[in-house]
Amino acid sequence: MKSNISSNNNLIRIGTRGSPLALKQACEVKNLLAKAHNLRESNFEIIIIKTTGDKIVDQPLGSIGGKGLFTKEIEEALSKKRIDIAVHSMKDMPTKQPLNLVIDCFLQREDPRDAFVSNKIEGLSSLSENHIVGTSSLRRKSQILNLMPRVRVVEFRGNVQTRLDKLDKGVADCTFLAMAGLKRLGLNKLTSRPISISEMLPAVAQGIIGVERRIEDGYIESLLKDINHIPTMIMAQAERAMLEILDGSCATPIAGLAIIDDNKITLKGEVLKVDGTEKIAHKKSGHISDNFNIGKEVGNILKRKIGKDFF
């Protein structure tokens, strides 16, 4: 149902990080809301918030605090009513939100796979132990070491353009970038070498944009309901239920992907040792209405399999 909203009295302030990809995602949310509710450009303000993770670019995320580094300042602005909604890449989100905030709106998932990106190497199958792999993701590092134990991996932080510049400068021979981010940025020339999920299972909720709001804000809740993509929400909830059981962060190499076929959901989860020497996986299917329990079951089985000292 379309809303009748006065352009003078109802400004929706959208909080986001300032990277080109984050701004694209914020604009995608804005455009969907505008279309769903007959809103104008003047009904929106995009507010850029610099997070700790954006400020510290020369250290591995796991060593300086993990996923919350990209969300803390944005969530503080939302709690203090400086913004009305926050737009996030769900793969960067901790599984627990502040008590007064909720994420119950998800945009349709983009391609969840990773892309192999290189100016020198044809593809993952051509990678050899003489090459240098650049990645800031502990998951990707562990997965590539599991496939090729003696390959050299170097730290490779920064936004998409920063990492592409590092490739040009020869800091590494190849890297991995999310297909979703490349497509949203229009960098389709870099999406020609996707990696199959059997070779590299994605990060939990990769390719999913989530919109966070204050629980008390019924007005915003009513607006967001019309742009929520239910199948994506079901997948995100299953994957993140698994992640919560495993207490996942940037310091733990965890991967997971849910796939929906009609009313059936299949969730595959994977945990790796940091050095890639061991990989534990589990998969479960069931009805989409049981998505939370499926996520928890996969998480609990993986947790039992790996024991206390796995990481």
- CA dist., res. 99 & res. 112, Å (int): 29
- CA dist., res. 205 & res. 112, Å (int): 8
- CA dist., res. 300 & res. 114, Å (int): 26
Hey, how many other C-beta atoms are within 10 angstroms of the C-beta on 229? Answer: 17
- CA dist., res. 12 & res. 41, Å (int): 10
Q: Residue 110 gets which letter from DSSP?
A: P
- CA dist., res. 118 & res. 193, Å (int): 10
Could you tell me which of 277, 286, 252, 257 has the C-alpha nearest to residue 269? 257
Residues catalogued as catalytic: 92
> 242: Cβ–Cβ under 8 A, 6 or more apart, which residues?
204, 256, 267, 269, 295, 296, 298, 299, 302
Give residue for tokens 């190499």: 253
What three-state secondary structure class fits 46?
strand
